[in-house]
Each structure stands twice: as structure tokens, then as C-alpha cells.
Amino acid sequence: MPAVVRTVAELRAATAAAGTVALVPTMGALHDGHASLMRHARPLADTLVVSIFVNPTQFAPGEDLDAYPRTFEADLERCAAEGVDVVFAPTVEQMYPHGLEDQITVDPGPRATLLEGAQRPTHFRGVLTVVAKLFSLVRPDVAVFGEKDYQQLSLVRLMARELCLGVEVVGCPTVREADGLAMSSRNRYLSGSDRERAAAISAALRAGVDAGPDGPEAVLHAAEKVLADAGIDPDYLVLTSPDLGPAQPGREARLLVAARVGQPRLLDNCAVSLGNPADGGK
Ligand code: PAF
């Protein structure tokens, strides 16, 4: 079993002679997607730390902070199975000892105003602030994040670079259910028919990838059609460059989608190779 540490002092003691450290930050409710992050991180350092902390500052009032699934005992079993050395599971008081008001926070910059940030204006300030705190506390050499939350991964990378945090940020491919649905802690809130419909989100991305050689408009058109056929009205469906700028014909791009299916709001994204119709496409 991993050592379970709940305070900063215990964390310091548990990592004092740790050698190199890899960190997988999580909010718990661990699933196969998290297990793949741990598996990816395990060989990257001497000591593997997983943090489990449901961070209140990345939830806006009215979002699902209280309802967010908490499955600590099962999470520990999963960490043990993946060879995790230390589970850091702090309280809110340990992470925010001076309270949630009057804080110094990380300004996530303009990239955080797009996509998820347009829907959830305070979200990335909370995410980057807690990730910066976790980096300061755990002092990892490398930190591993999932590509499923692509904008989050992009912003964490940018923060590590811009604030010279000395942490290598590694992204891991999304792990999917057999029908393509991206694994997420919130999938458990999908009811029967919505669970079936939710597969259309990844199907839309695949249709977009297939249309890639025909250029950006064809990608969006193909993906929109799959969503519309499943009765899904996305919050956004966009094609960007890999760093979330404008997509360029003839280049690698990223197709990102967010949509509410029944109760949960689902996110997914994938890489697309764009042809350039102006050059005859394909
Ligand atoms: O992706 C998550 O689970 C969270 O946003 C993170 C990175 C652990 C920060 O709370």
C-alpha cells in the first residue's frame, strides 16, 4: 500500500529521500484513465506521488463541488495496484491555510478565457493555483496530466514554462470505453439512454478526423452532423491549432467539443491532420 499523507509536514517527511519525483495530480474518483496516467508516470522517476484533492476553487457556486464523487478507499486500492509510493490527500485547510478569500492566485491569461473558460470564467484560475501549490509542495521533476482535459494540459504546460517552475509536464492519451466514450469521473452520472447517446461525442471526433484531408470546414461539418443526428447540441465544437490558436489548413489541428448529455457536461478532443483544399486537398 502507498504511504497516505495528509499534511504538508507528513508529505515532506515521506519525500525527503525520494530521489526524482513524478506527480499525478487528481481529484480522486479514480478510473482506468487515471490508472494509465500512473502507469505512464511510474517509470519516469524514483518516487511516484498521486495527489487526491477535490479543489474547491475550481468549482463556481452552483457547480457540483459537494456532489463530486469521493471514493477514497477504492482510490487507494487503485494506487496500490499501480505501484504508487505516496498518496497526498490533504484537507482544504492544509491546501488553503489562510482561507479561500484574500488569496494570491495564478492569473491564467488569455488562453483561459476560451472554450471552457468562456463557460466557466473562474475555473482555470482555481486549477492553475492549486496545481502551482501542488508543484511547490511535492516538488516533482515531472507531472503527468491527461489529454482529455486538453485546455487544462495546455495551460499547465504554459504556466510551468512562463513561471519557470522547473517541472516537465507530460500529456497522456485519453483512455476510452469500448464505444469510444472518454473516461471521466462524471460518466457515472449518465443514465441508460444518455449513456448510449454520449458515444456520439467521440464518434463526432472520429468523423472529423476522417474528414481532415478535406480541410477545416469539412471537419466541422462532419462532426456537427454526428452530434445533430444524436440530438446533442454542443456548448462548443471548435477546430484550433495544437496550442488553441486558429487552425491552419495543411497543419496538425485539435478538434475540441463540450456538450451536456443528460446531467453531466462531457469534454473530449483529438488531433486532426488537416489537408489544404486550396492546394487540392488530400
Ligand atoms: O484534472 C483534475 O483532476 C484537476 O483539475 C486537477 C489537475 C487535479 C487540479 O485540481
Q: Is the CB of 149 under 6 A from ligand 1?
A: yes
What is the domain extent for residue 199?
185-279
* Domain membership flag for residue 261: yes
CATH number at residue 208: 3.30.1300.10
* Domain membership flag for residue 52: yes
Q: Are residues 163 and 193 in the same domain?
A: no
Q: Are residues 137 and 46 in the same domain?
A: yes
Q: Whose CA is nearest to atom 3 of ligand 1?
A: 26
Q: With contact defined as beta carbons under 8 Å apart, do 252 and 242 qualify?
A: yes
pLDDT digits (tens, 9 = 90+) for 140-189: 999 999 999 999 999 999 999 999 999 999 999 999 999 999 999 999 99
Q: Are residues 52 and 155 in the same domain?
A: yes
Q: Are residues 226 and 152 in the same domain?
A: no
40 is catalytic: no
* Domain membership flag for residue 9: yes
Q: Please tell me the total count of domains within the chain.
A: 2
Task: Please list the ranges in the chain whose pLDDT falls under 50.
Answer: none
The mean pLDDT value of the chain amounts to 96
Of 115, 95, 141, 133, whose CA–CA distance to 245 is shortest? Answer: 115
Q: Whose CA is nearest to atom 5 of ligand 1?
A: 127
Is 261 assigned a ligand-binding role in the annotation?
no
Q: Which of 50, 95, 106, 131 to mutate to test the pocket of ligand 1 (most atoms within 8 A of CB)?
A: 131
Q: Are residues 8 and 113 in the same domain?
A: yes
Q: Whose CA is nearest to atom 1 of ligand 1?
A: 26
Q: Are residues 150 and 11 in the same domain?
A: yes
Q: Are residues 168 and 198 in the same domain?
A: no
- Interior/surface letters 179-216, b for 16+ CB within 10 angstroms, e for the rest: ebbbbbbbbebbeeebbebbbbbbbbbebbbebbbbbb
DSSP string, 42-76: GGGSSEEEEEE---GGGS-TTSSTTTS---HHHHH
C-alpha cell at 236: 462548443
Of 108, 138, 137, 109, whose CA–CA distance to 125 is shortest? Answer: 108
Q: Are residues 71 and 111 in the same domain?
A: yes
Single out the residue in 172, 198, 232 at which a domain terminates: 172
Question: Strand 47-52 relative to strand 21-26: parallel, antiparallel, unpaired?
Answer: parallel
Is 40 assigned a ligand-binding role in the annotation?
no
Q: Kindly give the number of the ligand 1 atom that is closest to the alpha carbon of 54.
A: 10
φ, ψ of residue 136 in degrees (nearest 5):
-65, -35
Q: Are residues 156 and 19 in the same domain?
A: yes
Q: Is the CB of 129 under 6 A from ligand 1?
A: no
Q: What is the pTM of this model?
A: 0.96
Of 94, 85, 119, 154, whose CA–CA distance to 260 is shortest? Answer: 119
In this structure, what DSSP letter does residue 174 have? P
Tell me how far apart the terminal alpha carbons of the chain are, to the nearest angstrom: 52
Q: Whose CA is nearest to atom 2 of ligand 1?
A: 26
Q: Which of 23, 26, 65 to mutate to test the pocket of ligand 1 (most atoms within 8 A of CB)?
A: 26
CATH number at residue 47: 3.40.50.620
pLDDT on residue 277: 77
